[in-house]
């Protein structure tokens, strides 16, 4: 039984089943996965089993899935599958896998090759535990709709928040009672309220904000009581009494266009806490509208330093200058947020190396974001290219800085598309295009390529025998392609150590292997060359006897 990887919404797993079937029909779909679900060896009938592409662990609503149910013997079978990487999940909210310690739904990685029939993807589950209690205020009154946080306690007593299948179980009911179920065996802590010294952004008001309080009624995390949960066990009376609500403040002001002095109507405003050095915004939120006189009011602020900003929805010629302010022990008024006329960026997106009408027709559906990077403190920036049928695009209202282009890798229509370079005036500007204040930059050429080559791989282990639950993450990067964030270029092996990287264009790729389990090993790197639309085979050998980077076994 493998270590568990869960997704964030059980509902999303059941989304777009018909679309999944349609996408499978467009390719040769001859693979299958089958197995059995049991509880302590006894069959578990009627359990929903969901199969989805592995990509949707980040955006499950964007990817279709297919499902089935176990029969009277607890057996399931999913057929008509194309080669690829999938997560297969058993939706049984009160049950967990014996090794499940982190997340929200019993799941396993499965990598399928063309025509492969994978059997024995079994789940032998155990009953999860329960933690329940009541949340009250300083006067002993029940607190309704308060958010409860569950922490898993790991090594060095580290506490990590975890999630369970139903979001609603983390809310107290009309009696102030919460009940968390389907908890894997382990050590836990429970809290309610917020860490008021964190960088949380509180949108929509400040009523009922309480200092984070752990069971049993302590605000010091180190004094939180450890709750031991066994399979099927229930910890009752895990009550929490919070102090008085924290005092919060408002910040109000006006939003204007600098060039005209006129108010900005029905714009959306927000704020974010400043970093200790005051040079950047640490997270932000938008949600406050200006009225017909350009006035705005933000609520729920605790003492600290902030930057306020505003955005005009839709295509706008203006960008926001951040307005700095500090909240101490009173409300703030008289803020003025200024919108400046920005620069513009225009050009064309092209797909090189193909004249296939079906591929070219996907041009308008590509999602490419543009981020403006600056060394100065600025309001959050970034926008998606609105690509026209001829490939042209136009962005306006940009603040000065370096414009960089990033393609999305999560959406189905993005599969196989790679950004290979960005050109301006005949030179490669993939590292970013400088955009000056008020400048009109035209003639930008964003060059994409499409590929459907694949790397089929196997991780082979030498030295110490690996644990039964070990899996590996494979980072991959085309050597002559602009560097992308690692989460855009990472896949995981299944329990057999197999992996499949598809949608590749020709070139040399660098593969790096990391163990997902806490097993000391040096990262293994190997280059692989992919030619045309062919498959490349590779074996990556890791030695678990080798010392890790910290020099420990």
| Banded model confidence at residue 334, pLDDT cuts 50, 70, 90 | very high
Residue 548 lies in a domain: no
pLDDT at 204 over 70: no
Q: How many residues does the chain have?
A: 553
More confident residue, 425 or 409: 425
- A 10 A CB-CB count for 293 gives 9
pLDDT digits (tens, 9 = 90+) for 81-136: 888 888 888 888 888 877 644 444 577 888 888 888 999 999 999 999 999 999 99
> How far is 540 from 461, CA to CA, in rounded Å?
9
Identify the pLDDT of residue 11: 33
pLDDT at 375 over 80: no
Residue 177 lies in a domain: yes
50 plus 106 within the same structural domain = yes
34 prior amide bond cis, ω within 30: no
215 plus 298 within the same structural domain = no
> How far is 84 from 499, CA to CA, in rounded Å?
9
| Banded model confidence at residue 4, pLDDT cuts 50, 70, 90 | very low
Residue 533 lies in a domain: yes
CATH number at residue 534: 2.60.40.10
> How far is 455 from 489, CA to CA, in rounded Å?
13
86 plus 146 within the same structural domain = no
Residue 549 lies in a domain: no
Least confident range from 241-250, 452-461, 540-549: namely: 540-549
Over residues 257-273, mean pLDDT: 93
pLDDT digits (tens, 9 = 90+) for 237-259: 999 999 988 888 999 999 999 99
| Banded model confidence at residue 192, pLDDT cuts 50, 70, 90 | very high
204 plus 289 within the same structural domain = no
DSSP letter, residue 523 = -
486 plus 527 within the same structural domain = yes
Residue 67 lies in a domain: yes
pLDDT at 548 over 70: no
Identify the pLDDT of residue 546: 53
Counting residues of the chain whose pLDDT is more than 90, the rounded percentage is 50
pLDDT at 21 over 60: no
Tokens of 432: 């970013």
pLDDT digits (tens, 9 = 90+) for 290-326: 999 999 999 888 889 999 999 888 778 999 999 999 9
277 plus 184 within the same structural domain = no
CATH number at residue 227: 2.60.40
Strand ranges of the sheet holding 285-289, from the earlier edge strand across to the other edge:
285-289, 268-273, 304-311, 323-327
> How far is 187 from 158, CA to CA, in rounded Å?
11
Contacts for 180-183 with beta carbons within 8 Å, 24 or more apart? Answer: 180/130, 180/131, 180/132, 180/148, 180/150, 181/93, 181/94, 181/128, 181/129, 181/130, 182/93, 182/94, 182/95, 182/96, 182/128, 183/96, 183/128, 183/129, 183/130, 183/131, 183/150, 183/229
226 plus 212 within the same structural domain = yes
Convert 300-330 into a string of H (helix), E (strand) and C (coil).
EECCEEEEEEEECCCCCCEEECCEEEEECCC
Residue 132 DSSP SS3: strand
Residue 550 lies in a domain: no
Over residues 227-243, mean pLDDT: 95
Identify the pLDDT of residue 518: 64
477 plus 530 within the same structural domain = yes
Distances (CA, A) of 61 to 5, 51, 55, 258, 406: 17, 14, 11, 40, 21
pLDDT at 13 over 90: no
Provide the number of structural domains found in the chain. 5
More confident residue, 543 or 177: 177
- Domain termination site, one of 295, 313, 341: 341
pLDDT at 9 over 90: no
pLDDT digits (tens, 9 = 90+) for 480-538: 776 665 555 788 888 888 998 888 999 999 999 988 766 667 788 999 999 887 889 99
145 plus 121 within the same structural domain = no
Residue 3 lies in a domain: no
220 plus 329 within the same structural domain = no
Task: Give the domain range for residue 421.
Answer: 343-450
Identify the pLDDT of residue 291: 95
- Domain termination site, one of 98, 127, 156: 127
80 prior amide bond cis, ω within 30: no
Over residues 165-186, mean pLDDT: 90
Identify the pLDDT of residue 19: 39
pLDDT at 61 over 50: no
320 plus 383 within the same structural domain = no
14 plus 117 within the same structural domain = yes
CATH number at residue 418: 2.60.40.1120
Residue 1 lies in a domain: no
- Domain termination site, one of 326, 341, 356: 341
């Amino acid at each position: 039984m493998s270590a568990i990887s869960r997704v964030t919404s059980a509902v999303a797993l059941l989304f777009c089943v018909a679309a999944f079937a349609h996408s499978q029909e467009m390719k040769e779909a001859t693979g299958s996965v089958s197995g059995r679900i049991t509880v302590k060896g006894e069959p578990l009938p009627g359990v929903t089993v969901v199969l989805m592409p592995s990509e949707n662990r980040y955006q499950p609503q964007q990817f279709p899935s297919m499902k089935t149910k176990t029969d009277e013997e607890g057996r399931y079978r999913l057929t008509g599958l194309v080669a690829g990487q999938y997560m297969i999940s058993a939706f049984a909210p009160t049950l967990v896998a014996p090794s499940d310690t982190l997340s929200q739904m019993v799941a396993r990685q499965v990598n399928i090759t063309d025509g492969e029939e994978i059997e024995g993807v079994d789940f032998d589950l155990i009953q999860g535990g329960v933690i329940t209690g009541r949340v009250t205020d300083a006067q002993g009154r029940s607190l309704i709709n308060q958010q409860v946080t569950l922490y898993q306690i790991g090594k060095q007593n580290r506490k990590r928040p975890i999630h369970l299948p139903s979001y609603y179980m983390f809310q107290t009911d009309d009696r102030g009672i919460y009940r968390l179920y389907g908890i894997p065996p382990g050590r836990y802590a429970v809290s309610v309220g917020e860490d008021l010294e964190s960088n949380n952004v509180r949108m929509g008001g400040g009523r009922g904000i309480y200092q984070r309080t752990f069971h049993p009624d302590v605000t010091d995390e180190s004094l939180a009581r450890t709750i031991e949960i066994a399979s099927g066990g229930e910890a009752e009376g895990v009550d929490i009494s919070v102090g008085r609500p924290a005092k919060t403040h408002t910040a109000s002001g006006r939003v204007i266009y600098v060039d005209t002095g006129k108010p900005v109507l029905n714009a959306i405003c927000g704020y974010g806490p400043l970093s200790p050095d005051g040079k950047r915004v640490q997270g932000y939120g938008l949600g406050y509208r200006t009225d017909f006189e350009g006035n705005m009011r933000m609520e729920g602020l605790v003492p600290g330093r902030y930057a306020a900003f505003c955005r005009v929805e839709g295509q706008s010629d203006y960008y926001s200058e951040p307005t700095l302010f500090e909240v101490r022990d009173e409300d703030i008024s008289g803020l003025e947020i200024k919108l400046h006329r920005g620069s513009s960026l225009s050009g064309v997106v092209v797909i090189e190396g193909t004249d296939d009408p079906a591929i070219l027709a996907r041009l308008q559906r590509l999602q490419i974001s543009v981020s403006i990077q600056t060394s100065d403190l600025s309001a959050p920036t970034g926008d998606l290219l609105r690509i026209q049928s001829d490939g042209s695009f136009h962005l306006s209202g940009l603040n000065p800085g370096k414009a960089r282009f990033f393609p999305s890798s999560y959406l189905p229509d993005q599969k196989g598309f790679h950004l290979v370079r960005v050109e301006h005036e005949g030179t490669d500007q993939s590292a970013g295009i400088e955009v000056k204040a008020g400048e009109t930059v035209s003639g930008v050429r964003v060059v994409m390529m499409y590929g459907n080559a694949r790397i089929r791989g196997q991780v082979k282990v030498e030295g110490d025998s690996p644990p039964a639950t070990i899996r590996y993450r494979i980072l991959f990067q085309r050597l002559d392609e602009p560097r992308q964030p690692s989460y855009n270029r990472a896949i995981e092996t299944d329990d057999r150590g197999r992996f499949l990287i598809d949608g590749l264009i020709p070139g040399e790729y660098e593969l790096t292997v990391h163990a997902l389990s806490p097993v000391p090993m040096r990262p293994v790197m190997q280059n692989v060359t992919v030619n045309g639309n062919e498959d490349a085979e590779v074996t990556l050998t890791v030695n678990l006897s080798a010392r890790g980077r910290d020099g420990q076994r």
